[in-house]
Structure 1
């Protein structure tokens, strides 16, 4: 390398690692986080800049990323999707894509770029999550007459803020609710300050959103995530008396909410048809008459048959709709109206088989393991990692949020925030090891 090339490279690295460039990318992260599902032009520009900067990071930090488990899983995801496309050319040639599509699984790894550019900075992590919460409110207001919709919801009608449907709104609102609850539980709540008042307001606001959107899957996921939180505190932060008190408060809150007529009616709505519970428990899913539950169970039966026919790599992107459109047993109201399977696990198995399923779950649990084993991860980050991943796994058993815009939005932001500290601790540790090796 000539002196000129060396000086050019040094100049590039100074800019790349400089504070100004880092602040610029952080600004784009906030733009993406705020506008992803509202003013999409702004979000797409910000996202493109983040992707380009992340590709540069992969090159600049290539010695690190080639050893990073999440990056390795990203590369494996690209390979699996390509092999699934090959399988589709063999098993469903009339419906196979002309070229392989790798974007669906690859997009889920966008969080790796966010984690890198947040630089493990606790302040930036919290600001990003707060911006997401503001983005949720802005998105609801952008798509609807916000205050009148809230008023309608408080009167007992199910609302969706004209944002796709209520399931999508409940997903993003529920994630925000969990975030504020965790802020409350991990803050030093000694006296009422402006910050603590803001946290309580956030809990109230997103709690109201979660109630009026009336999504049972979201209520289940939130309840399970809240139920494990007292067990995650441990030690001096959560003495037994505090754990018991917390569970008592949760139980009383749930009982109080159950007394609200429209909440009780929504919870019981899936069991109005006699024989449905028996049909579910005995495996006669085609006999279930409830519309919401019936659609899911009947399409899952078709998906299971498709998966068993192509278990290893599936049949590529788009197979989730083929399961429905090519079915000879699904009723017409399903084949006419639906093109997804209401379950991310089913869609993963159908499209990319066991290989894709292992890549996705390997990614989730690799992030969780690294966060929990990282000595500099805060109690807030560790609790957020466990509760959010549990929330995400539960809610994706009833919708295909892994592969929908709203799901990719919340997944990217929360997983990026969760993983950032552990990623940069690993990066700094390997950098120090390399420096020590050079000294010796």
Structure 2
């Protein structure tokens, strides 16, 4: 057995094998959502490679904090399912779906094979952007017609899930590429490449008309420089002021684009009803439906606050409601809020688990010592992801899984690589 382990260890530590795994990571980034059959093949190779690492160094891997959280997510999924068999036996699933949370930890596999290499991380994020653009290109029935209709003011989804999903993906790219335009200050070739990424992402973010994405980009842009300055203990008032002036000016200009202006004011008439708490009289518009769904969730949260009642709960809240109209109950299957769905499905323990993961990712970003690049990307993404999940259920869709695994993988690699190297030195 030791001889087999030795041979496998020699294989996975060989530069050629590491290169092969990195190619698979890039393939996953390009095709996981643009052409899933091919993306799944690349993902399978990444899993296989990580399993080989586990076979050789299980004792080392099992001590990693994210790996421990992966196993806790599986345990929590099982406990929530068991709770559902007691609390809602007539609705409970026949078995737990352990993959629904566990799939969100695939970033560990990516992080391991990136080996704490910033060039590989940047390349991965570049391929992520290209993968999103490929998704629009491949899924669209007529890409030129979509582009022209988007320019004309129509809301475009490029035939991928719905408009909010591609909007969210493009929003992350818009934030990241905006930062790199600023960070690359004066490096003409790299700035040109970044502009080729920024401009399509800006176009998709506008024409997909995802208001939650616009809000998330706005808040992340304003808060990120302040949070990073506090964490890094390097408060540069001049830099922060310049960034805020640019952001505010951009917001002012964007708000006067007819498409954006019309979309922002579309449901302004129901805001007073929402603020008054008069849920019963809120119409079933896009925003109104969300208010009704969230209101219906409150009794479910109160009844099972600790463990929730499993993955199907987000659908049960709607289908079992006595207040929602049948046309709404037949059309929708989730609550359009990833945070609420996490609570009703996996309780406060689920919330605690993911709060810990977000904290761990932020902490991990400080292990890239050269500058604040990774810390900035980490802060922007976590703020962005937290906000868009207030209005959509990205946490439980493949879109959100894809976003988390690629962005978190590129951040967590620095912490994971550091810890594994420390353990090697202690042995």
Shorter-chain TM-score range: over 0.9
Stretch of structure 1 that moved more, 278-287 or 261-270: 278-287
8 A contact 2:216–2:387 mirrored in 1: yes
Q: What is residue 286 of structure 1 aligned with on the other side?
A: 280
Q: Deviations over 1:291-316 (max 9, x none)?
A: 11111111111112111111111111
8 A contact 1:70–1:367 mirrored in 2: no
8 A contact 1:319–1:350 mirrored in 2: yes
Q: What is residue 401 of structure 1 aligned with on the other side?
A: 394
| 1:269 partner SS | coil
Q: Deviations over 1:323-350 (max 9, x none)?
A: 1111111122220100001011111111
Q: Deviations over 1:141-187 (max 9, x none)?
A: 10112232112111211111111111001010001111111212322
1:264 aligns with 2:261: yes
Q: Deviations over 1:352-396 (max 9, x none)?
A: 111112112211112212323x26364211100111010000001
Structure 1 residues 17 and 279: alpha-carbon distance in aligned structure 2, compared to 1, 3 A threshold: same
Q: 1:75 & 1:309 partners in 2: Cα distance?
A: 26
8 A contact 1:81–1:352 mirrored in 2: yes
Q: 2:109 & 2:373 partners in 1: Cα distance?
A: 21
8 A contact 2:364–2:411 mirrored in 1: no
Q: What is residue 438 of structure 1 aligned with on the other side?
A: none
Which structure 1 residue ranges, 5 or more long, are not aligned?
A: 436-440
Q: What is residue 150 of structure 2 aligned with on the other side?
A: 153
Q: 2:387 & 2:78 partners in 1: Cα distance?
A: 28
Structure-to-structure mapping, 1:143-292, within 5 angstroms:
143-144=139-140, 145-187=142-184, 189-190=185-186, 193-231=188-226, 234=229, 239-271=236-268, 273=269, 276-289=270-283, 291-292=285-286
8 A contact 1:286–1:294 mirrored in 2: no
8 A contact 1:227–1:247 mirrored in 2: yes
| 1:350 partner SS | helix
Stretch of structure 1 that moved more, 198-207 or 50-59: 50-59
1:334 to 328, 339, 342: 328
* Number of positions where the alignment pairs a residue of Structure 1 with one of Structure 2: 424
- Once the two structures are TM-superposed, the CA of residue 7 in structure 1 deviates from its matched residue by 3.2
Runs of 4+ residues deviating >6 angstroms: 235-238
Q: What is residue 419 of structure 2 aligned with on the other side?
A: 426
8 A contact 1:270–1:290 mirrored in 2: no
8 A contact 1:377–1:421 mirrored in 2: no
1:319 aligns with 2:313: yes
8 A contact 1:50–1:113 mirrored in 2: yes
Structure 1 residues 10 and 295: alpha-carbon distance in aligned structure 2, compared to 1, 3 A threshold: same
2:409 to 416, 427, 435: 416
Structure-to-structure mapping, 1:86-165, within 5 angstroms:
86-144=82-140, 145-165=142-162
- Once the two structures are TM-superposed, the CA of residue 238 in structure 1 deviates from its matched residue by 7.4
Which structure 2 residue ranges, 5 or more long, are not aligned?
A: none
- Once the two structures are TM-superposed, the CA of residue 232 in structure 1 deviates from its matched residue by 5.2
8 A contact 1:371–1:377 mirrored in 2: no
Q: 1:325 & 1:402 partners in 2: Cα distance?
A: 21
8 A contact 1:91–1:315 mirrored in 2: yes
1:82 to 62, 65, 78: 78
Q: What is residue 357 of structure 2 aligned with on the other side?
A: 363
Stretch of structure 1 that moved more, 13-22 or 225-234: 225-234
- Once the two structures are TM-superposed, the CA of residue 64 in structure 1 deviates from its matched residue by 2.6
| 2:267 partner SS | helix
8 A contact 2:365–2:415 mirrored in 1: yes
